[in-house]
Structure formats: structure tokens, C-alpha cells
Amino acid sequence: MEPQIDPAPAVEPCPTRPLSPVEMARRISRNTAALHADAVDRDARFPREALSALQEARLLGALVPTRLGGIGCSVSEVAAMCQALAEGCAATGMIFAMHQIQIGCIVRHGLGSPFFVSYLTELSQEQRLVASVTSEVGVGGSLRTSVAAVEIRESGSWLRKQATTVSYGQEADDLLITARREKDAAAGDQVLILARRRDCAIERTGGWDTLGMRGTCSPPLTIAASFAHEQILPLPFAEIASQTMVPLSHLLWSSCWLGIATDAVARARASVQAEARKNPGQTPPAAARFAEVAELLQRMRANIDGVTA
């Protein structure tokens, strides 16, 4: 009698590992943002395809805590996402970075407010896009100076601000606006207000060619906004700016520059390699300069990574 052999146990297929937020950003950059980057910049149009892909992946809530429905990413992860997106489309990378700067301010300084806790939950669910309104006519580019002031009316609070530039302001769902605390407040006594796009009257007052990032759609706007007092972040803007907005802006913007530079160096590498293939055995004239550029890029990456950490 032949021995009985038990059939081999069925091999369970390995489940596909879910992509990390950074990997999702890289995929969106490669498969969506890069495909439309030329048209976005040429036509100065908002990168809707890439934004829709980011919303579908739920990446607009990257910095929102998981208990509020967000992803709970670290700053280092968001910086890597900005770099990845900017490699494919500079405008997409910058829009994502500017949005995350606004969310970082709310997360760090608004979690003691029931309104902002509820708002972050809503943002995570609906993947709302938030723009910044900090520039203003008459302040000479000073972030820490405002002409516009909060006015208290019977129906609630109100302000009118003439901004010199508002990136993607006409595309955003909500706006974070700086203004003086009240009509009699000093120019530097500022607050930061979350205004709903539906509660704003927005007038475009000019144009701006943004040098390769036309898709950020950054014209000057005049904004009249109404809001409840609870929509003002509890801390003075001076503290929000110094502790969060300014450092986070430099980190995430630098990460976008790194992404743009990474793409440029990759194009240069391909060019040098193509030249080398045409003339086997000869070093292309640009090879030495390319080596210098590659080293500069590596130093830039190490510097940004170190400061972010």
C-alpha cells in the first residue's frame, strides 16, 4: 500500500501592503500631477486633476489627528509629500504645502476650541481645501502688520481685506485671514480667522504671473467675510506665526524647491547619459558640471531633512 500523503496546505496570498501617505503622494505626482503640469502652467489653471486625486486619497487631512478622522502624519512625512508632488508639478506641490501650513496652525493652536475640533473633523471627512490670506495692500509685505480689522455687528463679526495675492483663493473651500483684533487695535495686534468661502464675497482685482507656478492661481483679491467670534483662533497671531506658520512655511516650501530641483537634476542626468551613449569612450563636456550639481542637490536634501527632523 502506498503511503498516504496529505495534500499541501493552500498558500494564502500575501495581502497587498497599503501605501503609506508618502507613497500615495509619489503615485499621484507620477500618474496625475506630472501628466497635466505643462497645461497647468501654460494655461495658468488650477491643477484640478491632482487636487481631486489628493482628496480621493484623503491626503488633505494629513496633519489632522487620527482621532478627528485625519491621517496624523508627522511634519517630516508631509515635507516628503510636498517634495514628491513638486517633482511632478510645482503648482500642485506648493498648493499642497500652503494648505498643510494652514492646517498645521489650526491643529497646533485650535484643539482647545470646540469649534476648531469640529471643523478639523469636517475637513477630514469632506477633504476641504484651505487658503491663506495674509498679504495686504498698504503693509509693504509685512506678515505681522494688518490694515483690515474685525468689526463687531449685530449679526456677527465682519471684515474687509484687500490682499495683494491669495494663492488658489477662488478655488478654496475656506480661508484663514489675518486682521487686527478690532478697529482700535494696533497694526501688530492681529488675530487669525477661519472664514467659510460661502460666507465671503470675493473680487479679483488684478493678475500675477507666478514664474513657473501659474497653477497656484495667485491674483490679488478683495475679500469681505462674515463669521462668528468662535471662528477666531484663540491665540494671538504673533504666537501662531512665530511658533508654527513661519517655521512650517520654510520647511514645506523648501521641500517643494527640493522636489523641483530633483526633477531638474533627473532631466540633466538623462541628457548627459544620452550624450555619453552617442560618443562611447568620451566623457561628455557637461559631466563634470553635472557631478557638482548632483552634490549640491544632495547637500540641499541633507540640510532640509536635518532641519525638519
Looking at residue 16, what is its pLDDT? 76
Looking at residue 7, what is its pLDDT? 46
Name the pLDDT band for 2 (thresholds 50, 70, 90): very low
Q: Indicate whether 209 pLDDT > 50.
A: yes
Name the pLDDT band for 90 (thresholds 50, 70, 90): very high
Model confidence, pTM: 0.92
CB 298 within 8 A of CB 269: no
Strands 221-227, 200-204: parallel, antiparallel or unpaired by DSSP? antiparallel
Looking at residue 5, what is its pLDDT? 43
Q: Calculate the average pLDDT of the chain.
A: 93
**Nearest to residue 226, comparing CAs of 166, 160, 171, 180?**
160
**Measured distance CA(174)–CA(164) in Å, rounded:** 18
User: Mean pLDDT across the stretch 116-125?
Assistant: 98
Name the pLDDT band for 101 (thresholds 50, 70, 90): very high
Return the bridge partners of 193, or none.
Answer: 177, 232
Q: Indicate whether 250 pLDDT > 80.
A: yes
Return the bridge partners of 158, or none.
Answer: 151, 226
Task: List, for residues 3-53, the tens digit of each pLDDT value.
Answer: 444 444 444 445 578 999 999 999 999 999 999 999 999 999 999 999 999
**Measured distance CA(309)–CA(306) in Å, rounded:** 5
Looking at residue 124, what is its pLDDT? 98
Looking at residue 281, what is its pLDDT? 83
Looking at residue 15, what is its pLDDT? 58
**Measured distance CA(87)–CA(93) in Å, rounded:** 8
List the end-to-end C-alpha distance of the chain, in Å, as a whole number.
Answer: 69
